[in-house]
Structure 1
Amino acid sequence: MGTIQSAAEIESLLEPLTGQKIAALQVLGINSLKTLSPPPEALAGEVVTAADVVDRILRVDTTSHVISFDLQRTGRVILLESAEPYRFAAGANRPTVRLLMVDGTGLDLIEPAKTKRITVTITTRPA
Structure 2
Amino acid sequence: MATIQSAAEISPLLAHLKGRTITALQVLGINSLKSASPPPEALAGEVVSAVEIVERIININTAGHLITFDLQRTGRVVLLEAAEPFRLAAGTTRPTVRLLMDDGSGLDLTEPAKTKRITATISAQPE
Structure 2 gap segments, 5+ residues each: none
Corresponding residue SS for 1:38: coil
The letter of the residue matching 2:79 is L
Q: What's the counterpart of residue 123 of structure 1?
A: 123
1:65 equivalent in alignment to 2:65: yes
Which stretch of the first structure deviates more once superposed, 88-97 or 4-13? Answer: 88-97
Q: What's the counterpart of residue 6 of structure 1?
A: 6
Scaled by the length of structure 1, the TM-score of the pair is 0.97
**Superposed CA RMSD:** 0.8
Scaled by the length of structure 2, the TM-score of the pair is 0.97
1:75-86 paired onto structure 2 within 5 Å:
75-86=75-86
Identity score, percent: 70
1:1-127 paired onto structure 2 within 5 Å:
2-127=2-127
Structure 1 gap segments, 5+ residues each: none
The letter of the residue matching 1:102 is D
- Residue deviations 1:35-78 (CA, integer Å, cap 9, x gap): 01000000000000011100200000011000000000000000
Aligned residues: 127
Runs of 4+ in 1 over 3 A off after TM superposition: none
Cα distance, 1:86 vs. partner?
A: 0.2
In the alignment, the residues of structure 1 paired with residue 113 and residue 126 of structure 2 have an alpha-carbon distance, to the nearest angstrom, of 36
